[in-house]
Copies of this chain bind each other. A is one copy, B any other.
C-alpha cells in the first residue's frame, strides 16, 4: 500500500485522473492509498475535484474517510452529502464519529438521517452526551459476552457474529441487565482451555469512568494504566460504551496542542491552514487583552517619565529586567502547566511546587542580579546603578517564580484551564512590576545615579 512518502506524486496522479474522464483509473489510484492518507489528500485537493473524489468512494470508504478527516472538513463534507447517502456512510463509520457528524447537522436533518440509519439504535443513546466527555468519545463497538458462557461458546459466538474490525478486541461480560461483570482479554480467550467458564477468564475489577468524565481525564487514565479501551458505565455499573486507546491518543495530542495554544493566547481551533481572515480574527481577542496589559506597563513607565528624563540609561535596562523576568516566569509556568496536564502534580503537591519555583526564582535572581548589577555599575561608573538594576532584576525573577507557579495552580484551583493565556498574564505582571522595581528604585536613588 502506498504510504504518505509517495503521496505528493500520487496527489498529482489522482488530480489528473479526476480531471479526466477515466473513472476506473481514478478509482484505482484512490484505492492504492491508505485511508489515513486519503484524508490528507482530500484536505489538500483543489476544491472542485473534491466532489469527484467523494463520488468515487464506496459507503465503507467514505465512512472510513470521515473518521480520519479534520473536524471542520468532516462537517463540510457531511453538510454537502445527500441525506440518504450520509445515512449509509454513517452506518459504516465508528459511533463516536457518527455522533459528532449528527450533532453538526440542523436538528430536522439529524432526525431524517437517523431514521434512515441501520445503526440508529446504537447511535441514538450516544447523542445526549457532552462532546468533550467520555460519553462523547465512546462507541458501542464491542462484543458482549454472557457470564454463563464457556471459552468455547464465546469463540463460537464470535465466529458466528463476525464483529467489525476493531470490535473483536473489546470483550465485556454483561449480565442480563447490562451490568458490567468483567473484561475479557482476547489473548486469554485464545489460550484458555475450551471448557473454562468465561467468568474464570475475565478481569473483575476493571477501571471504569462515567459518561460525564472529561476527555482529558479519560485520555490520561488510558495512558496511565496503558489500557486498550476504557469502559464507560453509569452509576449502576450499566455499560454505556467504551473509549478506545486510539481515540485517547488523539485526545491527548489535541489537549497538548490546546495547552500550547492557550499559554500564548491562541484559540484551540486555530490551525496553520485556516484562512488568514479566520485566523486573524481568532488571534485578535487575546492580543487585544495583551494590549491592555501593555498599556498598564506603559502607564507604569509614564509614572516615572521625569525620572527617565533625568537618567535616560534607566530605559536601557528596562528590557533586561522585564525580559529576564518574563522568560524566567514562562519557564516556571510551562513546567507547572505540563505537570498538571500529565497528572504529575496532584492537589496535595501545590505547596511543594510553589516552594520549588520560588526557590529557583530566588537562585536565578541572585545570580543574574549580581551579573547585571556588576555590568551596570561598570558601564555607568556609579555603584548606585549596580544596586538599582541588580536589585530590580532579583526582585522581578523572584516574583516571576512565585507567579509562574501561582497562576496555573490558582487557575486549576478555580477549576479553570491552568493554561489559559497564562503566559500573557505572567508577562503583564513581570513587565509592570519589573518597571516598578527598576524605575521606582531609580527614582529613590536618582541623586546617586546622575
Contacts and interface: CB of A to CB of B under 8 A. Distances in A.
B191 A162 contact: yes
B190 A264 contact: no
Interface stretch (A49-57, A101-109, A268-276): A268-276
Interface of A: 1, 3-4, 8, 34, 36, 155, 158-159, 162-163, 165-169, 185-187, 189-191, 205, 207, 223-226, 245-246, 248-250, 252-253, 256-257, 259-261, 263-266, 270-273, 276-277, 279-280, 283-284, 287, 290-291, 293-295, 297-299, 301-302, 305-306, 308-309, 312-313, 315-320, 322-324, 327-328, 330-331, 334-339, 342, 344-346, 348-349, 352-353, 356, 359-360, 363-364, 367-368, 371-372, 375, 423-424, 427, 431, 435
A272 to B, nearest CB: 4
A297 B272 contact: no
Contact of A431 (B298, B306, B323, B371): B323
A345 B270 CA distance: 14
24 contacts: A1-B207, A8-B346, A34-B207, A158-B191, A169-B186, A223-B249, A226-B246, A245-B246, A260-B337, A265-B331, A272-B353, A277-B363, A283-B328, A284-B367, A287-B331, A291-B320, A294-B324, A295-B320, A297-B320, A298-B319, A305-B316, A308-B308, A309-B309, A330-B423
Contact of A280 (B290, B297, B364): B364
Contacts of A348: 8
A204 to B, nearest CB: 9
Contacts of A431: 319, 323
A368 B287 contact: yes
Contacts of A336: 272
Nearest to A305: B312
Of all A-B residue pairs in the complex, the 3 with the closest CB atoms, nearest first, are A168-B187, A256-B256, A309-B312
A319 B316 contact: no
B155 A190 contact: yes
Nearest to A275: B356
Nearest to A8: B348
A319 B326 CA distance: 12
A195 to B, nearest CB: 13
Contacts of A317: 298
A260 B255 CA distance: 13
B334 A320 contact: no
B290 A257 contact: no
B356 A270 contact: no
Contacts of A435: 319
Given A272-B345, A279-B356, A302-B313, A264 B334 contact: yes
